[in-house]
Amino acid sequence: MSATTTRYGKSSEFDSFAVSLHQCLKRHEKALEAEGLGDDVRELSRWIEKIYSGSITALEALEMHGPRDLVNLKERIILALEEQQRIAEESPAVNRRKDKEQQKYASAFHDVSDALDHLIKATSASNIKMKKGDTGMKLVTPVKDGQPVDGGIGEESRADVAEALGSMLASTYSLYVKSLFYHWNVTGPRFHSLHKLFEEHYQDLHEAGDDIAERIRAIGHFTPGTLKAFGALSQVEDDDELPGSAEDMLRNLKEAHGVCAGEARKVLNIAEKAGDEVTVDLMVERMRFHDEAGWMLGASL
């Protein structure tokens, strides 16, 4: 199992923590089996092996066992450790062999718990979300659709472009939802003008989503399309609640358009290196829209 072949990217934090957990589970398999955790251990080991073999993508892996599942497993391991400690307190070891066995259980549970802590951190939403300019950890390796593509762009380059476009698609969709949310709920003396402006923006974003997705398909890859995928990939922050004023809405949208404009520039640079002029043209148009939208929103403040 090599950390250089994982679908989470090369030399990522996830790589080292997943390897550590896998080795830890193997090392303490018997102790965990004795506590009724054997099925969980074997399933988690198979999960890590599937990721490294490339038989499942990163998002598929996260949907299969996200941070919440890992936390639940850790809690069961802690309960098993507490039970061992209770037994040890109620029935002190009467010989060296029994004492060593209890120490072995305690060591196993502590080791696996620590390894799970690291992996939970690496797979948490705040850490798996790709930050602007980050090239170290790739959340999603695009899945080829199996159709032949004869566009003069190498397979590896097409994968890089598809991955960047997938993130751009997620951010575009998130901004579309944000604009629609504000369009529905804006109030105040400028209701009519802002209601209309937000509508113009979300209509453009909706059409842009189709264009970006179709470009991903045209270069031979499937697109992300679930809410989980968009939530993990998008660089546009979602709203926890409705902003308190029209001015807050304007500021939020201006910032989000700036994020999308920066992401479009990033995709453009990747596409230029790949010789993908069609994607370059598409990103030039997206940059124009987001820059103009940001200017209009800022001028409305």
Length of the chain: 301
Q: Where are the domains of the chain?
A: 13-128, 155-299
pLDDT digits (tens, 9 = 90+) for 184-243: 999 999 999 999 999 999 999 999 999 999 999 999 888 888 787 888 889 999 998 999
Between residues 169 and 56, the one the model is more confident about: 169
The per-residue pLDDT for 95 is: 56
**Cα–Cα distance measured from residue 125 to residue 108, given in angstroms and rounded to the nearest whole number:** 28
- Residues 141-180 as b or e (16 or more Cβ within 10 Å = b): bbbeeeeeeeeebeeebbbbbbbbbbbbbbbbbbbbbbbb
pLDDT classification of 132: cutoffs 50, 70, 90: very low
Between residues 7 and 119, the one the model is more confident about: 119
Is domain 155-299 in CATH 1.10.540.10, yes or no?
no
**Cα–Cα distance measured from residue 237 to residue 174, given in angstroms and rounded to the nearest whole number:** 8
The per-residue pLDDT for 60 is: 62
Residues contacting 156, CB < 8 A, separation 6+: none
Distance (Å) of CA 163 to CA 9, 109, 125, 253: 12, 38, 18, 25
pLDDT classification of 129: cutoffs 50, 70, 90: very low
Report the percentage of the chain scoring pLDDT > 90.
42
The per-residue pLDDT for 26 is: 76
Average of per-residue pLDDT values in the chain: 77
pLDDT digits (tens, 9 = 90+) for 24-52: 777 777 777 777 777 877 777 777 777 65
| Continuous segment of H or E residues that includes residue 133 | none
The per-residue pLDDT for 196 is: 95
**Cα–Cα distance measured from residue 100 to residue 103, given in angstroms and rounded to the nearest whole number:** 5
The per-residue pLDDT for 146 is: 53
- pLDDT of 67 higher than 50: yes
